[in-house]
Chain A
Amino acid sequence: MIQMTNVTKEYAKNTAIKDISLTVPTGRIIGIVGGNGSGKSTLLKLIAGLAQPTSGSVTVNGEKANRRTGQFAAYSSESGIYYPIFTVREAIRFQASQFPDFNLAKADEIMKLMQLDPHMKIKALSKGNRGRLQIMLTLAREAPYILLDEPLSGLDPMVRDAIVKGMISYVDLSTQTLIMTSHEVTEIETLIDGFIALKDGSLHRMADVEELHEVEGLRIADWMKKTYD
């Protein structure tokens, strides 16, 4: 379980997260949504332990989130660049050497599904293939938490579809929880169980998608249009 208590994150020039308290239950797919600069990526980094709150606390399975709790969370950053000097195969081997929960067979399977050439140098990969690589390297880890920062952003519909299908195929919700940030809300509507909506760094709403459909008859995008002005 991930728990945030009165979390605030300040940077030199701005406050990225303002006093957020929430609990993310396990075994679900959760989307973090909100406009540009609303704090989506920062929230995910706080959970990954790659950023520390200025005040408040973030715990992952009861432990304070820091660099080392990363062993419970497979994190994929938005910048999406892996060591460009590696080939796809070398990147897999490196990842496998670093993370004991990395499943090589699974990586191979995803690599084939994503049609990645293992001998290609990463710096020579197209943007779409980098997105695929990133997803493959992250989903091959059998970590309790999978954290994806904008996994669909800037990719063409075919790649996005392959990535979404990859998530459904290779995340086991009986043992894993997937948290992703996205501004492609329509794309993830049927994929996510619940969403965390941020507005200017504050928690705007956290709810089940089906609750939104059932009670308000709205899609996330419609709801956001209605409440974000």
Chain B
Amino acid sequence: MDEFNASKPIYLQLADRIHRQIVSGELKAGEKLPSIRDMGIKYSMNPNTVQRAYSELERGGILEARRGQGTFVSEQRDRLAQQRVKLKQEQIAEFVHVMQEMGYSAAEILAGVEQYLNSAQKGDK
């Protein structure tokens, strides 16, 4: 439970999580997802909620339900690529919004991000 927060419906948080796993490549195109029940067990989550998350992603064309076989990651790669861009835009928009609210200018934000990424890269090495 601690992994989920209250600001957003749980089914959307689960949908986001699966979405991110697809974008990151953790879940590959055409890969089978755990059954609704197994997913529920994994996150101690109500199967109805898992169902809603899956449905949400199916509507977005990211997942595909195949009758009698289960739920799969879509094989429409362009669709996934599109989603990858969309998710990036969303995250950036959220971040920029918060930064601007706190009064940072575009230049400050840009410089901050650049600096952060550089030092993170150094830290990696």
Interface residues of A (CB under 8 A from B): 27-29, 161, 164-165, 168-169, 173, 186-187, 189-193, 209-210, 213-214, 217-219, 222
Contact = CB atoms under 8 A, between A and B. Distances in A.
Given A28-B48, A193-B48, A210-B11, 17 more contacts: A27-B48, A29-B48, A161-B44, A164-B44, A168-B46, A169-B41, A190-B46, A190-B49, A191-B45, A191-B46, A192-B46, A210-B10, A210-B49, A213-B6, A213-B7, A213-B9, A217-B7
A222 B6 contact: yes
A63 to B, nearest CB: 26
Interface string B30-48: 0000000100110111111
Nearest to B40: A168
Interface of B: 1, 4, 6-11, 37, 40-41, 43-49
**Which of A168, A169, A219 is the most central at the interface, judged by chain B CB atoms within 10 Å of its CB?**
A168
Nearest to A168: B40
B47 to A, nearest CB: 6
A219 B46 contact: no
A145 to B, nearest CB: 16
Nearest to B50: A168
Contacts of B9: 210, 213-214
A169 B46 CA distance: 10
A168 B35 CA distance: 12
Contact of B6 (A29, A161, A191, A218): A218
Given A165-B41, A209-B10, A190 B4 contact: yes
A65 to B, nearest CB: 25
A150 to B, nearest CB: 18
Nearest to A190: B45
Nearest to A216: B6
Nearest to B6: A219
A32 to B, nearest CB: 16
Contacts of B44: 161, 164-165, 168, 190-191
Contacts of B7: 213, 217
B10 A173 contact: no
6 contacts: A165-B41, A168-B47, A191-B44, A193-B46, A213-B8, A213-B10
B48 to A, nearest CB: 5
Contacts of B37: 168-169
Contacts of B10: 189-190, 209-210, 213
User: 3 closest A-B pairs (Cβ-Cβ)?
Assistant: A219-B6, A168-B40, A210-B9
Nearest to A219: B6
Contacts of B43: 190
A3 to B, nearest CB: 21
B3 to A, nearest CB: 9
Contacts of B4: 189-190
